[in-house]
A and B are shown apart, each in its own frame.
Chain A
Amino acid sequence: MAVEATKIEEVLTGRVETYWYLVGKRLRKHRLAMLSLVVLILIILACIVGPYISPYKVSELGSTTEVLQPPSWKHPLGTDELGRDVLTRLFYGGRISLLVGFSSVVSALLVGIIVGAYAGYFGGFLDTILMRFTDIMFSIPVMPLLIVLSSVIPGAGVWKIVLVIAIFGWMTDARIVRGMFLSLRENEYVEAARAIGVSNNRIIWRHILPNSFAPIIVSATLGVGGNIIYEAALSYLGFGVMPPTPSWGNMLQNAQYAMAIAPWLVWSPGLAMFITVLAFNYLGDGLRDAMDPKLYR
């Protein structure tokens, strides 16, 4: 009897339902995550476009009469101790904070994925070495170390901050990725790939990694918010982005000296950071639900 393709009944839908299509479909049902996504897009757009439409320059000093002005029509969020427009600085600072947040997450992920993937896939001795190294990195008390470092190396550019956050931030990702690889490498499709003769590297990058994206993306989303806070903390320790380049972190740090007389200086970067971080967390939660393999049919 010939097996005829036409006899296999049509059951498939017209649309190619990729995994990401299904994730998107489920994410759209998560109201808080969708609201967060809209808020984040607005914030990002504002940070990109804002500085261009603002009549002020970022570091344009105002006249002495314009120092520490409360919010007004001319300066919707007031001015700082040097008479600079806070709204403009907020947009620009957002660029820096978001840039630091995103790029530090991406760099930490790169390191974390490489370490975690090889440790989890090969296991054994390599795993022991890599994971002990991870443990050592974890046990370094970062904040005290940075306080000491900040007195030695004064001031740092944006990219140095990114580097510092990445160096001390990849370990969690490495552990997540290792965990995923440990369980996914037992899957039959990995065995099937080996039976075909697929190389270990191709198995790692083409077969296992795409299947461990879900927790990585959730962790990255939460990580962006976390790293924005991290940058603020570093700024507070004097190790963050150095003025006159604004970031939400150093705006907040600056504001503390004038808090009593000019509370708007605290409110605007504080709220911006609060809303952004909250939105990233809700989005991360929504993504986790949308990508949960247990819900995945």
Chain B
Amino acid sequence: MEREETLLDVRNLKTYFFTDDGVVKAVDGMSFTIRKGEVLGLVGESGCGKSVASLSIMQLVEPPGKIVEGEIIFKGEDLLKKTPEQMRKIRGSEIAMIFQEPMTSLNPVYTIGNQIMEAILIHQDLSEEEAKKRTIELLRLVGIPEPERRFNQYPHELSGGMRQRVMIAMAMSCNPDLLISDEATTALDVTIQAQILELMKDLQRKTGMAILFITHDLALVAEMAHSVAVAYTGKIVEYGDVYQIFKKPRHPYTYGLLSSVPSLKTEKTKTPLPAIEGMVPNPYKMPSGCHFNPRCPFATERCRKEMPELAEIEPGHLVRCFHPVAVEKEAVS
């Protein structure tokens, strides 16, 4: 992939939730960049802050959550300095977002055609006739058969996969520069997931938009992304291009995650998987030092006391670890 100019630059983002029981640092100093036309995979398990990070970019964080620090530079301007009105214009036109559950994002009492048309009319100066034409074009673009007929259907008449296509059509309606996909294929069946991923790849190639691809599924990232950020407890622990992350994972967490997924290649079925021990720490009681140290097989005294910095260990490959894993990852996957 050729180096292109930076589209989105998230710097030291901190989004905290101030609850009755204490402060949850959902996103705690995340930094990442997305160039034009790049697909960045943001992976992690529940509670790693990946969804809150995306909501922070859109400024859709709701109380008790609050962005307390950081910059979100989009096309050279800090989104955190925008007024709510300016943000509203950016959302849906320059940055679009699709979610896991398309049913809750679609209004059940309007036809899908109406809803896409509305999105177009809000952001673009088009006549109703033109908007309708554009809507049908979009429905065709996302692979919905018989778009003229589907235009008049209600969300409940469509299957989960079709609804997700409608959401993508709506997201694509204003040719966004950045598409945020938050677990958009998680609720779908494998064969339908394959269709949607293919569609997203295809649209990305055709339009050159950038995608922030958020998921818990490492395999999807391997397939979709150019670069990958692995998040754990609100911090990025490893960051690099997709080959670095999957072929030479250096953080013990990334390494452990990749090893613990059952592989389709291995002959050693019915044997124990190399699982990561323990579980994600309680957000109210983060361990001192490196947050991964209680589960890490390589943890030392230093890891229990100090939080390592995200440091570059080879060009473009950043790891937050005092004792990066040295082995190449060949046996797995």
Query: Is there a direct interface between A and B, measured as CB atoms under 8 Å apart in the complex?
Result: yes
Decide if A260 is an interface residue (CB 8 Å cutoff).
Answer: no
Question: Which residues of B, 185-210, contact A by the 8 Å Cβ criterion?
Answer: none
B282 interface contact, C-beta 8 A: yes
Contact: A11 with B279, CB < 8 Å?
yes
- Chain B 277-302 interface 0/1 with A at a Cβ cutoff of 8 Å (1 = within): 11101100100000000110000000
Alpha-carbon distance A9/B294, docked complex (angstroms): 8
A30 to B: closest C-beta gap in Å: 13
Query: Size band of the A side of the interface?
Result: under 10
- Segment 256-280 of B: residues with Cβ below 8 Å from A: 272, 277-279
Looking at chain A's contact residues, is the secondary structure mostly helix, strand, loop, or mixed?
Answer: loop
Q: Are A11 and B294 in contact (CB under 8 A)?
A: no
A9 to B279, Cβ gap below 8 A?
yes
CA distance A8 to B279 in the complex (A): 8
For the complex, give the distance between the alpha carbons of A14 and B295 in Å: 22
- A1-41 vs B, CB cutoff 8 Å, 1 = contact: the mask equals 10000011101000000000000000001000000000000
Closest A residue to B20 by CB, please name it.
A29
B278 touches A8 (CB 8 A): yes
How long is the Cα–Cα vector from A1 to B271 in the complex, in angstroms? 10
Q: A226-268 CB contact bits vs B (8 Å, 1 = yes)? A: 0000000000000000000000000000000000000000000
The answer to whether B272 touches A1 (Cβ under 8 A) is yes
Minimum CB–CB distance from A112 to chain B (whole Å) comes to 34
> For residue A1, which residues in chain B have a CB less than 8 angstroms away from its CB?
272
B272 touches A11 (CB 8 A): no
- Are A11 and B281 within 8 A (Cβ)? yes
Smallest Cβ-Cβ distance to A11: which chain B residue: B282
Enumerate chain B residues within 8 angstroms of A29, measured Cβ to Cβ. 20
B287: nearest residue on chain A (CB-CB)?
Answer: A9
Contact B272 A9 (CB under 8 A): no
Which chain A residues (142-196) contact chain B, with CB distance < 8 Å? none
List A29-76 residues whose CB lies under 8 Å from chain B. Answer: 29
Binding site for A on B (CB under 8 A): 20, 272, 277-279, 281-282, 285, 294-295
By a beta-carbon cutoff of 8 Å, the part of chain A in contact with chain B is 1, 7-9, 11, 29
